[in-house]
Structure 1
């Protein structure tokens, strides 16, 4: 990692600059491009994609960035970290190539398409002394962090249970190329579950066992927008998954992830304790209101923001990694644990038995209230 003078508003130590090369310039890169210019410890220096035109379009938006092939970017000595925004099926391949080239890695969720592939990534990184980070970094925002502080401060008493619900009709309605959402590595659990499971780990700590059930409403989906509108794609994964997570603390979290429903007024997380209950903001976002109701209260109260990064978006995890001295909050270890929880839920659904979670992780340290100028 090179040290040089930072430019623009920043959080953290100004002399530490993490030079980032992004691989995969599809839909999600736009959200990163909204955030990275405001992170004084992170600089985007290169972009690569199987479609060179997409890489060139990204590079053209960032002063000094270059459009490269994937292999050129991974080998480039001016790149400290590979930001892996490829589809889940390719996360493993790109991460291993980057680690072999001595690059740090930060990837979109999930860490890999399978636990076995994710284990290979972490093993290679440990052997090479490489730091691995992973989305979701939404849990670092003021929404989840304010809720976490409320739990840590005892505002609900001893936590007992949580519910986490995400229900939609499916991403094919809006995504022009939704194929990968309905193949192994996709589905509501591995696509949206990382936000909810990682938030539950952040709020309540690691998980020791799970039991699940799953179903699939239909075997194909019809694309609703873009040049492929009307085309059908096959479904080869469970599109409705539910289950119970048993946390090390004894808290029981109930999870519902679905691409088969029309709508829900309860697509959120709630945490319940002996003395009160919390409504937690959408874990797919960085901010939002945390609501608290305690025994004896007639009304819910909205809590002031008391923790977390304020006014940020996807990519704040890179800033956190740049300043973390090898121990980022949005870490590979947390992402691995969340992935094992999700994969085990599916295994439980298909075997009808409770599954013990082999991995664990440290509950990431809390984020103090921090504003990016």
Structure 2
């Protein structure tokens, strides 16, 4: 594969630790620089990693060594940082969502196309063995023609554990924009793009109380819907029922189920890379775990950068790519608009179903 891809990270908050671990493990990637508004936080984040420079954002964008900017800022800053990277002629890979609004996301993709650079976006959990083994089962016809899916995420709210949860309760956050990308990306990977949506939404409280850290006990305002439910009508005709909540306590429902004419699949948590895929065939009483058959083994956040480094998506749209991220964001925004209008709405964008991932361990490939 030649030389590793040089990565520069902007944003060294809590999620950066997972990306740093992945980049350090993958021979296809090399971290050369990090930037953050808090330089002390940046220095602490990369302290275990030798040879990584800490610098300002403008300096990182100008650094000729940096080939791809990994954008780990808060959602409200995703578009601005991505546009800086694109203006500097660099590929960019964003934490989800691609931008706080669909309009901003469209601007990012238009700028990237004009500049001839590539855009990728989390979640890349769909590239792991869990979702990819489920996709392989669907593609092999083990459930027959898919007709429906359910996707459910229920939690009483991230403020219980996150010391600075403000961004979860402003535009760009909420259960749908925060956790929905994992679920909708998985549904599109499994069943293809979405044509239209029907939705309903609510919020139970106007304030939330921080439950940990130095701000424990502080109240923060809630300006987004905190329980969203709806139906996604896929272009294939399959119907996915989605429930995303920061208001409920718990559920025993699987994260995702796929139902076909000849069988049903339990799909692992789309916020994880692995997990058992359970198949129940028509006429069978018990589910059985399928052997792992596809996806990146032992993967972690950041594995989506492999396509930038010369993986199977080299030179074209990465699997965790910008068009998929825009479509997922469009689906979610359309669902919220449908919930507020009380009408079914068409989804304006579409995308190609991302290419499948063959079974392999990227940490042992070079």
Task: State TM-score, norm by structure 2.
Answer: 0.97
Partner Cα separation in structure 2 for residue 34 and residue 361 of structure 1? 31
How many correspondences in the alignment? 360
**2:63 paired residue among 71, 76, 79:** 76
Q: Deviations over 1:113-171 (max 9, x none)?
A: 00000000000000000100000000000000000000000000000000000000000
Say whether 1:99 aligns with 2:90: no
Aligned to 2:329: 339
How do 1:252-271 residues align onto structure 2 when only pairs under 5 Å count? 252-271=239-258
Task: State TM-score, norm by structure 1.
Answer: 0.95
C-alpha distance 54-345 of structure 1, shift in aligned 2 (>3 A): same
Partner Cα separation in structure 2 for residue 359 and residue 103 of structure 1? 25
Say whether 1:276 aligns with 2:263: yes
Aligned to 2:163: 176
| Structure 2: segments with no counterpart, 5+ residues | none
Task: Give the SS at the match of 1:117.
Answer: helix
Aligned to 1:30: 17
Q: Over the residues paired in the alignment, what is the CA RMSD in angstroms? A: 0.8
Task: Give the SS at the match of 2:73.
Answer: coil
Task: Give the SS at the match of 2:156.
Answer: coil
**Contact kept? 1:321, 1:327, Cα under 8 Å:** no
Say whether 1:87 aligns with 2:59: no
Q: Deviations over 1:171-221 (max 9, x none)?
A: 000000000000000000000000000000000000000011000010000
Query: In the TM superposition, what is the alpha-carbon distance from 1:299 to its structure 2 partner?
Result: 0.7
How do 1:45-124 residues align onto structure 2 when only pairs under 5 Å count? 45-124=32-111
Query: In the TM superposition, what is the alpha-carbon distance from 1:18 to its structure 2 partner?
Result: 1.2
Q: Which moved more, 1:59-68 or 1:254-263?
A: 59-68
Aligned to 1:186: 173
Query: In the TM superposition, what is the alpha-carbon distance from 1:311 to its structure 2 partner?
Result: 0.4
Aligned to 2:340: 350
Aligned to 1:149: 136
Query: In the TM superposition, what is the alpha-carbon distance from 1:267 to its structure 2 partner?
Result: 4.7
Task: Give the SS at the match of 1:309.
Answer: coil
Say whether 1:365 aligns with 2:352: no
**Contact kept? 1:169, 1:262, Cα under 8 Å:** yes
**2:235 paired residue among 248, 256, 277:** 248
Query: In the TM superposition, what is the alpha-carbon distance from 1:353 to its structure 2 partner?
Result: 0.8
**Contact kept? 1:47, 1:58, Cα under 8 Å:** no
**Contact kept? 2:33, 2:60, Cα under 8 Å:** yes
Task: Give the SS at the match of 2:292.
Answer: coil
Partner Cα separation in structure 1 for residue 184 and residue 237 of structure 2? 16
Task: Give the SS at the match of 1:322.
Answer: coil
Q: Which moved more, 1:159-168 or 1:61-70?
A: 61-70
**Contact kept? 1:46, 1:59, Cα under 8 Å:** no
**Contact kept? 1:167, 1:267, Cα under 8 Å:** no
Query: In the TM superposition, what is the alpha-carbon distance from 1:100 to its structure 2 partner?
Result: 0.4
Query: In the TM superposition, what is the alpha-carbon distance from 1:326 to its structure 2 partner?
Result: 2.8
How do 1:183-262 residues align onto structure 2 when only pairs under 5 Å count? 183-262=170-249
Task: Give the SS at the match of 1:370.
Answer: coil
**2:122 paired residue among 135, 142, 147:** 135
Structure 1 runs of 4+ with >4 Å offset: none
Q: Deviations over 1:9-40 (max 9, x none)?
A: xxxx2x14211110000000011122111111
**Contact kept? 1:276, 1:295, Cα under 8 Å:** yes
